[in-house]
Structure 1
Amino acid sequence: MTPTSPRPRPAPATFRRRAVALVGALALSGLTTAGLAAPADATPVLPSAPTRPSAPLAAPTTPDLGPNVTLITPAMAQADVQAKLDAIAARQVPNQFGEERDAILFAPGTYGSAATPLIFQVGYYTEVAGLGRNPGDVVINGAVNVYNQCEKAADGTESCIALNNFWRSMSNLTINPTGGKDCRANTEFWAVSQAAPLRRVDITGLTSLMDYCSAPPQYASGGYLADARTKAVTNGSQQQWLTRNSEIGSWSNGVWNQTFSGVEGAPAQGFPDPPYTTLAQTPASKEKPYVYIDARGAWQVFVPKAQKNSSGPTWTDGPTPGKSLPLSTFFVARPSDSAKTIEKQLSKGRNLLFTPGVYGIDRTLHVRKAGTVVLGLGIATLTAEKGAVPIRVSEVPDVDIAGITIDAGTKNSSALLVIGTGKGHGPTASRPTAVQDVFFRIGGPHVGKADTSLVVKSDHVILDDIWAWRADHGEGVGWKVNTADTGVKISGDDVTATGLFVEHYQRYNVIWTGERGRTVFFQNELPYDAPNQAAWKHGKTLGWAAYKVGDDVRKHELWAGGSYIYTNVDPTLHLSHSFEVPDRKGVRLHDLVTVSLNNAGTIDHVVNDTGDAATPKEGGSTIVDLVAYPVG
């Protein structure tokens, strides 16, 4: 989480690679966080929905997914649907560290209309997903929104931000942004920060990643969009954002680093002004598995096929390539199930579906079988107990670990998730193991301790939207309380990370010693709470780099890396450099930004001894850009 941010950089003219028709479009030639005017014509307009396959031939037999899964069907009265969704939002929107978890699953069909749109909010620990094979199978005429959270000061002034809007998701449906009033008319709002992905969505009208309709300052801090199609997108105050393998109509502006990888319609490379990093293709990707109902009414889990050097959504030219697994091949876990019970099912070679809830894991869950899928619904959360490592994956290929949060417990764990052993024959380029939408927490809901959050020893692993967070607020927070050295350690070769968010760890946030590693988009905040320089240094080096590439590595590449310092306990602290890499021809970094936030903390250099210092600035922040390393 970023405590504050500067106002967005002046927006360039809205980029259009091809002509798009936008009814009531919002012109953003000079965005500021003071607020935006609503479209002049706020009359609800219903764009054409994609062609939708026919409904299932038979009524689906609903599996028992527990009390925290809400199934919405076209047969339900809209008033009842609205009441259910509003009740979940009322509970979850303010529930940052609660134990409630929710999955809202829409059966194939159409919901809402131009006359009576379906509009609701998504709060903490809430997953909204369509149950179709493709996004066009579930159509919502309305909006599924995340807004700023507002607080009132003692003098009555209101402050509204999205900096803490974490732990929620939306996927596999079409939204026709319809209805709403005044500033919020006909727009899909998704004002979020980390751990709030959008996947497999088709948004046919305006999308805003910033809630510009509330009181200021309206800051937002990071997000992720993949395998999606949109029209006009307002980036707004989003400090950093990754869009991967998607299609967009236009993009309004940028703040520090906005990244596009394999995105049709993306703005051209422009870093640092505008701060766009654009890759024509994504080097390696594997979309997240998802639950759907097939034409016979049977529940399945679809596992997309891995891709290399790809661009665009997987579903716009036909169904997503991959394979379906019957839900009967999964052990459907409940929070009341013990780790011993869950481990026994894994040992039988079954896949694993965590229903929404919080699970106490007092022994390691071992994934031993190639092709195993471990999938969470509703931000299912595993909490380490007795110092256990909650999940270990053997040296086997084609495993997916997706859609879960893993919390450290009060007794120190050596790690929270370990992929592979580094010995034997495991994942390959054609059968990679993937970790998608997996989030780690050290502190926040309670005291947590772990040496490292994520350890990757296997080759050919894809890390897709990872947030490893040593908590800077909440319960159990303090330099000697929620202790954690490193967020991510990677020793496997040919590992690709797309969307790597790692924050506040006490030593190196990322250590990468494997060969031919690639990262597309890295976002980092350094620890806020180091008590003094003596506690945060090693040898003659001040602090610990955010991103460390091993001294013996011969080939590594990073695109779009951001590292920010805010040392509010001791504002005089220095970090020697945010990125530390060996000086070799094969090690290359592109489009880096360092920031000193809120007059607290200094980053002396960007990479090694290269790059200007990001120094404290009273009343604001200092931004330093470095286009390439090695320079020239």
Structure 2
Amino acid sequence: MTTPYPARTGRLRLAAALGAATLLAMATGTTALAAPPLDPAATTPVATKKAPPSSATDLGPDVTVFDPSMPVSEIQATVDAVNARQVDNEMGTGRAALLFLPGTYGTDAEPLQFRVGYYTEVAGLGASPSDVVINGKIEVYNRCLDDNGTTNCIALNNFWRTLSNLTLEVNGAGQDGCRATANFWAVSQAVSLRRVNVTGGTLSLMDYCTAGPQYASGGYLADSKAGDMVNGSQQQWVTRNSEIGSWSNGVWNAVFSGTEGAPSDEGFPTPPYTTLDETPVSREKPYLFADSSGAYSVRVPAAQQDSRGTSWGDGPTAGRTIGLSEFFVAKPGDPVQAINNALARGKHLLLTPGVYDIAQTIAVKRADTVVLGLGHATLTAVNGATPIRVADVPGVVIAGVTIDGGTVNSPVLLQVGTKNGNNGAGHNDPANPTTLSDVYFRIGGPHVGKADISLEVNSDNVLIDHTWVWRADHGNAGSFGWDVSTGRNGVVVNGDDVTATGLFVEHYQQYNVVWNGENGHTVFFQNELPYDPPNQAAWQHDGILGWAGYKVADGVKKHTLEGGGSYIFTNVDPSIHASHGFEVPDTPGVVLNHLLTVNLGAGTIDHVVNDTGAPVSNANTGTPSYVERYP
């Protein structure tokens, strides 16, 4: 367990300035009741128990499989113990997957109510979300960082957790009245809700019960169905290919793509919505499921174009099923050479939870290979290695994997395709894009990290479906800082026809995103510029102050961005300026819709895009500068 850090300082100041009462009024129009006490973090963990194995496959010691025949009290004790271990484990090495076999868990009188901590995946093992029903709550609350976990209660650091493939019948029986009717999911970056059906209550994306509402900073909902949704204090959020009943307000940037029931974006930026009727390119994340015999398989959804709504609402999700016998099931400590030998023989790769030291590149060379991580499996570069490299082939899927830079600089952490390689016929397929889903990157945080580029996409027809690419602004002592954990660019796209749905990239030392390829399309972009440049001289180039968060190369003729924000908080030197939040060529084919910049308490962005848009500075902290369309 690590010591909590007073991080995301700029956003904390904004939250305090806006005030809990204002946030609550925006979200619900009601008055918050007194917050109930948090579950004691010091609860003595019980031994993790597993249901009788549903197959001979060993998924490792950090995977717990539950059976509906188990007593609710036993399941409750197990999930509470995992949460107690992970709730404050922001920079630790613990990983966990809590998997539920088909059936119903919890009753009206004895609901199953639990919280999801860091690096924890909660997932149903059914073929459909309706196959696993949780009668109760699966929640994330504000995390209290100070005074032995009693004050400074925020959601800004609630990263790295996953909920998927189940039905949640919201049941707050026995909870404090403030929490009784809503399931709280107060999260920030690197958190996904996928294939979730929420019934019987409100899904609230903020926690207005623990010390009042505080800002949250991110989040991703896809292929899901919910009724009333309280966005509340979420600074930004992206909802893709889902169905919702209602949506309450937005703070800075809320994007909806292919979502039934999404609010209109008429009048932008009041409210600050961006709504696309259809998603241009989509593919849902692969998921593990158990068949009637108890054998595990992985369902790999097919890619879609111009899609809307869930993939499962009218029947089984289209795609292919791969038996787990066709996977190399890896555990931390397995030699990379053994993984590569299995991949070369045509196997797919399942990474069980844990931290893997990668001193030799995992080479994905065959079309349609699936690499699926459970429980936020994490690959750490060793001796400057590139942890994963994907060849110029179509249909590869990388999902549920976190990739960390190591103490020796890596040229790149994940490379898709060969730079200047052969991307012609047979090497890419618009109907079968290589896809990255819930793939996260870190430079610093748990330890020192260094990489020139975190994600480099060289192939054509690639889909980036939710990523957080992060150079640390906080972490364990000695793990972050301008000359300590270094990263030039977060994402570099050289391929053509690349689509990104849910692109979060933060704190890199030059351009956070560089887009060199033609016909790129980004649906939702969130960025914070680096906090830590020591002075202006260290952060400028070619007569331009700072570096834009999102750069489309000068020679690009066609590019589209829908819903993008870039923020500044240069607390090391508050006098620093960035000339532009976004920088693009002036050409009719490059179109940016619904942009904003905002000052978080230190530093200035002079213009939103190129030389258009009013500045943000300490004179208007927390008030965005918007550009509806450029050019």
TM-score normalised according to structure 1 size: 0.91
**Pairwise mapping of residues 225-244 of structure 1 onto structure 2 (< 5 A)?**
225-244=221-240
Task: Give yes or no for the alignment of 1:262 onto 2:265.
Answer: no
Maintained 8 Å contact 1:399/1:433:
yes
Maintained 8 Å contact 1:605/1:613:
yes
**Compared CA separation, residues 175 and 35, structure 1 to 2 (3 A):** same
Q: Distance in 2 between matches of 1:8 and 1:273?
A: 23
Correspondence for 1:290 among 287, 291, 295: 287
Q: Which residue pairs with 2:558 in the alignment?
A: 555
**Compared CA separation, residues 575 and 117, structure 1 to 2 (3 A):** same
Which of 369-378 and 346-355 deviates more?
A: 346-355
Task: Give yes or no for the alignment of 1:70 onto 2:51.
Answer: no
**Pairwise mapping of residues 55-94 of structure 1 onto structure 2 (< 5 A)?**
60-94=54-88
Q: Which residue pairs with 2:160 in the alignment?
A: 167
Correspondence for 1:187 among 182, 187, 198: 182
**Pairwise mapping of residues 224-373 of structure 1 onto structure 2 (< 5 A)?**
224-270=220-266, 271-373=268-370
Which of 78-87 and 209-218 deviates more?
A: 209-218
Which of 427-436 and 440-449 deviates more?
A: 427-436
Q: Distance in 1 between matches of 2:402 and 2:53?
A: 33
Task: Give yes or no for the alignment of 1:112 onto 2:106.
Answer: yes
Q: Which residue pairs with 1:203 in the alignment?
A: 198
Which of 620-629 and 429-438 deviates more?
A: 620-629
Task: Give yes or no for the alignment of 1:585 onto 2:588.
Answer: yes
Identity %: 59
Q: Which residue pairs with 2:390 in the alignment?
A: 393
Query: Does the residue aligned with 2:269 lie in a helix, a strand or coil?
Result: coil
**Compared CA separation, residues 32 and 190, structure 1 to 2 (3 A):** closer
Q: Distance in 2 between matches of 1:562 and 1:90?
A: 35
CA-atom RMSD, angstroms? 2.0
Q: Distance in 2 between matches of 1:38 and 1:556?
A: 48
Query: Does the residue aligned with 2:130 lie in a helix, a strand or coil?
Result: helix
**Compared CA separation, residues 109 and 623, structure 1 to 2 (3 A):** same
Q: Which residue pairs with 1:130 in the alignment?
A: 124
Q: Which residue pairs with 2:39 in the alignment?
A: none
1:35 offset after TM fit, Å? 8.1
Q: Distance in 2 between matches of 1:445 and 1:9?
A: 30
Q: Distance in 1 between matches of 2:129 and 2:33?
A: 28
Q: Distance in 1 between matches of 2:262 and 2:191?
A: 21
Task: Give yes or no for the alignment of 1:617 onto 2:619.
Answer: yes
Query: Does the residue aligned with 2:467 lie in a helix, a strand or coil?
Result: strand
Amino acid at match of 1:232: D
1:77 offset after TM fit, Å? 1.1
Maintained 8 Å contact 1:8/1:255:
no
Maintained 8 Å contact 1:107/1:132:
yes
Amino acid at match of 1:230: A
Instruction: Show CA shifts across 1:27-54 (max 9, x none).
Output: x994269984369xxxxxxxxxxxxxxx
Q: Which residue pairs with 1:25 in the alignment?
A: none
Query: Does the residue aligned with 2:537 lie in a helix, a strand or coil?
Result: helix
Which of 28-37 and 583-592 deviates more?
A: 28-37
1:8 offset after TM fit, Å? 11
Q: Distance in 2 between matches of 1:223 and 1:395?
A: 31
Instruction: Show CA shifts across 1:226-265 (max 9, x none).
Output: 0000000000110000000000000011000111000000
Instruction: Show CA shifts across 1:79-104 (max 9, x none).
Output: 11000000000000000011111000
Q: Distance in 2 between matches of 1:491 and 1:135?
A: 37
Instruction: Show CA shifts across 1:285-339 (max 9, x none).
Output: 0110010012332210000000000000000111110010000000000002122
Q: Distance in 1 between matches of 2:254 and 2:378?
A: 29
Amino acid at match of 1:466: T
Q: Which residue pairs with 2:40 in the alignment?
A: none
Instruction: Show CA shifts across 1:534-592 (max 9, x none).
Output: 00000210001100001110000000000000000000000000101000000000000
Amino acid at match of 2:362: L
Amino acid at match of 1:168: R
Query: Does the residue aligned with 1:459 lie in a helix, a strand or coil?
Result: coil
Query: Does the residue aligned with 2:80 lie in a helix, a strand or coil?
Result: helix
Task: Give yes or no for the alignment of 1:528 onto 2:522.
Answer: no
Query: Does the residue aligned with 1:606 lie in a helix, a strand or coil?
Result: strand
Q: Which residue pairs with 1:515 in the alignment?
A: 518
**Compared CA separation, residues 178 and 606, structure 1 to 2 (3 A):** same
Correspondence for 2:94 among 88, 100, 106: 100
Amino acid at match of 1:176: E
Q: Distance in 2 between matches of 1:302 and 1:33?
A: 38
Q: Distance in 2 between matches of 1:157 and 1:617?
A: 33
**Compared CA separation, residues 186 and 520, structure 1 to 2 (3 A):** same
Q: Distance in 2 between matches of 1:254 and 1:7?
A: 14
Instruction: Show CA shifts across 1:127-169 (max 9, x none).
Output: 0000000100000000100000113459x98221000000110
Q: Which residue pairs with 1:480 in the alignment?
A: 483
Q: Distance in 2 between matches of 1:59 and 1:88?
A: 20
Which of 491-500 and 620-629 deviates more?
A: 620-629
Maintained 8 Å contact 1:120/1:143:
yes
Amino acid at match of 1:611: G
Q: Which residue pairs with 1:215 in the alignment?
A: 211
Q: Distance in 1 between matches of 2:145 and 2:29?
A: 17
Query: Does the residue aligned with 1:597 lie in a helix, a strand or coil?
Result: strand
Amino acid at match of 1:74: P
**Pairwise mapping of residues 128-167 of structure 1 onto structure 2 (< 5 A)?**
128-152=122-146, 158-167=151-160
Gapped runs of 5+ residues in structure 1?
A: 11-27, 40-57
Task: Give yes or no for the alignment of 1:446 onto 2:447.
Answer: yes
**Pairwise mapping of residues 385-464 of structure 1 onto structure 2 (< 5 A)?**
385-421=382-418, 422-425=421-424, 426-464=427-465
Instruction: Show CA shifts across 1:169-201 (max 9, x none).
Output: 000000011023211113211100000100000
Maintained 8 Å contact 2:158/2:186:
yes
**Compared CA separation, residues 8 and 174, structure 1 to 2 (3 A):** farther
1:349 offset after TM fit, Å? 1.8
Q: Distance in 1 between matches of 2:142 and 2:123?
A: 22
Query: Does the residue aligned with 1:369 lie in a helix, a strand or coil?
Result: coil
Query: Does the residue aligned with 1:416 lie in a helix, a strand or coil?
Result: strand
Which of 603-612 and 30-39 deviates more?
A: 30-39
Query: Does the residue aligned with 1:414 lie in a helix, a strand or coil?
Result: strand
TM-score normalised according to structure 2 size: 0.91
Instruction: Show CA shifts across 1:4-41 (max 9, x none).
Output: 1646999xxxxxxxxxxxxxxxxx994269984369xx
Maintained 8 Å contact 2:24/2:31:
no
Q: Which residue pairs with 2:573 in the alignment?
A: 570
1:217 offset after TM fit, Å? 5.4
Maintained 8 Å contact 1:169/1:198:
yes
Query: Does the residue aligned with 2:81 lie in a helix, a strand or coil?
Result: helix
1:61 offset after TM fit, Å? 2.2
Query: Does the residue aligned with 2:26 lie in a helix, a strand or coil?
Result: coil
**Compared CA separation, residues 29 and 413, structure 1 to 2 (3 A):** closer
Q: Distance in 2 between matches of 1:603 and 1:383?
A: 34
Task: Say how many residue pairs are matched.
Answer: 592
Amino acid at match of 2:615: A
1:340 offset after TM fit, Å? 2.0
Task: Give yes or no for the alignment of 1:601 onto 2:603.
Answer: yes
Instruction: Show CA shifts across 1:395-427 (max 9, x none).
Output: 111000000100000000000000012414422
Instruction: Show CA shifts across 1:431-482 (max 9, x none).
Output: 1100000000000000000000000000000001110000000131010010
**Compared CA separation, residues 533 and 186, structure 1 to 2 (3 A):** same
